[in-house]
């Protein structure tokens, strides 16, 4: 084997790990981390060696090294991960200082609150693919909004919070004030307007953990969410609106453009002293939006002509989207180099898997479990 290996070019050799190395450790990145003495991580090092399991362990160990050496981490949430209780692991990572900014779809953000207030009203249907259209309609009429295998109880969640938020929006209009979507939501915690469901564990709410730790949140595309739709309905004054007693100014809500410019300041301030890594859970706007801050600082603000702009230190994506048809969600790290989102020295890893399977392993390593 050594003779065969010696015949290869140096550029190819750097990608290859011998079976001995792969047996003794979880791969080349593992050399950056002292051998684990904790049971879950030890088992992961033993069992997760190949394919997406190996990629997951590689990414986890790289991230652990990154954070242990003073790096910062941005996590992005796509799909319905909050309804799928991503907060069980994400909230603890936030509390332990492992996460420094969250970018979430507006649906994920609000669903973290919905879990908090209505956890016991959720239900599951593991064999959801077997439902007929008539059964789906029956669920609709019962107010159970299906998200894959999970039912979100609208009356016990959305409609509980709507009156509180509407009051905030009306007050903001009267006082000529404007806030980001997540700032209105955070007042629900700050002012004690909502209480956890009797069977909910508040520690599982990542939005609560982020509020308590005061870490920044970015919610691009607020209008693409249930509460965003509701807010839009209150701003509509067109010919089909019957009750015009409440018409809100859409500018009460700070926009995605303002979220993006806030990222300029956050990234430049944090990157002065810390490399920043990017962990993308799923695809979509929650990830595509914040990762663009680096090329925008360079090519739109032209700051690279005046000062060095630190590239993303690493990019890790867990998702099932294929690399096809121009999909941002499925684009690999190498493609991101061409857009100046990553450099040739940035670490990157794509894990083709279900986030609910792979992310807990990464979290376990970062939490020293």
For 224-278, the three-class secondary structure string (H helix, E strand, C coil) is CCHHHHHHHHHHCCCCCCCCCCCCCCHHHECCHHHHHHHHHHHHHHHHCCCCEEE
Q: Give Cα separations from 263 to 202, 231, 362 (angstroms).
A: 28, 24, 25
pLDDT of res. 333: 73
> What was the pLDDT predicted at 307?
87
> What are phi and psi for residue 197, nearest 5 degrees?
-55, 145
Calpha distance 311→246 (Å, rounded): 46
pLDDT of residue 328: 66
What pLDDT shows up at residue 25?
A: 42
Q: How many domains does the chain have?
A: 1
For residue 22, is it within any domain? no
Q: What integer pLDDT is reported at residue 35 of this predicted model?
A: 64
Whether residue 107 lies inside any domain: the answer is yes
What is the number of residues in the chain?
Answer: 369
**Is residue 11 domain-resident?**
no
pLDDT of residue 271: 97
Is the residue at 116 inside a domain? yes
Is 118 inside any structural domain? yes
Strands 123-124 and 72-77: what pairing?
A: unpaired
- What's residue 26's pLDDT? 43
Please name which of 359, 272, 366, 268 lies closest in space to residue 316, comparing C-alpha atoms. 359
Q: Decide if 128 is inside a domain.
A: yes
- Cβ–Cβ under 8 Å, residues 151 and 139: yes
Give the pLDDT confidence score for residue 246 in this predicted structure.
Answer: 86
Q: Give the C-alpha separation, 73 to 118, whole Å.
A: 30
Residue 9's pLDDT is what? 85
State the DSSP H helix or E strand holding residue 145, giving kind and residue range, or none if neither.
Answer: strand 144-147
Task: For residue 9, tell me if it sits in a domain.
Answer: no
pLDDT in tens, 26-85: 445 555 555 667 888 888 888 898 999 999 999 999 999 999 999 999 999 998 999 999
pLDDT at 285: 92
Q: What share of the chain is helix, strand, coil (3-state, %, to 5)?
A: 50, 10, 35
**Which CATH number do you get for residue 230?**
3.40.910.10
Structural domain contains residue 17: no
In tens digits, what is the pLDDT along the chain, a chain of 369 residues?
667 777 888 877 777 766 655 544 444 555 555 566 788 888 888 889 899 999 999 999 999 999 999 999 999 999 899 999 999 999 999 999 999 999 999 999 999 999 999 999 999 999 999 999 999 999 999 989 999 999 999 999 999 999 999 999 999 999 999 999 999 999 999 999 999 999 999 999 999 999 999 999 999 999 999 999 999 999 999 999 888 888 999 999 999 999 999 999 999 999 999 999 999 999 889 999 999 999 999 999 998 888 889 999 999 999 877 676 666 666 777 888 888 989 999 999 999 999 999 999 999 999 999
Nearest-10 Cα torsion for 316, 294, 321, 56: 0
Q: Give bridge partners of residue 153 from the DSSP assignment.
A: 144
Domain that holds residue 230: 36-366
């Amino acid at each position: 084997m050594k003779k065969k290996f010696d015949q290869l070019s140096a550029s190819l050799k750097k990608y290859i790990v011998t079976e001995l190395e792969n047996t003794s450790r979880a791969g080349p990145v593992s050399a950056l981390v002292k051998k684990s003495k904790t049971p879950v991580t030890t088992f992961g090092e033993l069992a997760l060696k190949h394919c997406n399991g190996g990629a997951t362990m590689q990414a986890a160990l790289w991230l652990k090294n990154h954070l242990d050496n003073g790096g910062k981490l941005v996590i992005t949430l796509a799909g319905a991960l909050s309804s799928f209780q991503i907060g069980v692991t994400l909230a603890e990572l936030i509390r332990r200082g492992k996460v420094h900014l969250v970018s979430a779809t507006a649906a994920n953000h609000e669903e973290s609150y919905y879990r908090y207030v209505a956890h016991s009203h959720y239900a599951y249907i593991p064999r959801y693919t077997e439902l007929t259209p008539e059964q789906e309609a029956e669920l609709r009429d019962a107010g159970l909004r299906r998200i894959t295998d999970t039912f979100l109880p609208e009356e016990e969640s959305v409609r509980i919070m709507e009156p509180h938020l509407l009051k905030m929006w009306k007050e903001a209009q009267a006082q000529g004030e404007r806030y980001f979507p997540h700032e209105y939501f955070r007042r629900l915690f700050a002012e004690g307007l909502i209480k956890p469901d009797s069977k909910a564990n508040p520690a599982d709410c990542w939005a609560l953990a982020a509020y308590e730790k005061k870490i920044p949140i970015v919610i691009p595309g607020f209008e693409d969410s249930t509460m965003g739709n509701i807010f839009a309905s209150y701003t509509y004054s067109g010919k089909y609106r019957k009750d015009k007693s409440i018409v809100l100014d859409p500018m009460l809500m700070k926009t995605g453009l303002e979220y993006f410019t806030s990222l300029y300041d956050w990234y430049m301030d944090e990157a002065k002293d810390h490399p920043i890594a990017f962990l993308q859970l799923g695809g979509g706007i929650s990830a595509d939006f914040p990762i663009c801050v680096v090329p925008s600082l360079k090519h739109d603000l032209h700051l690279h002509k005046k000062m060095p702009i630190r590239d993303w230190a690493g990019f890790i994506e867990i998702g099932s989207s294929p690399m096809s048809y121009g999909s941002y969600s499925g684009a690999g790290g190498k493609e991101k180099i061409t857009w100046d989102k990553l450099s040739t020295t940035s670490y990157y890893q794509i894990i083709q898997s279900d986030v609910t399977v792979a992310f807990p392993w990464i979290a376990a390593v970062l939490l020293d479990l």
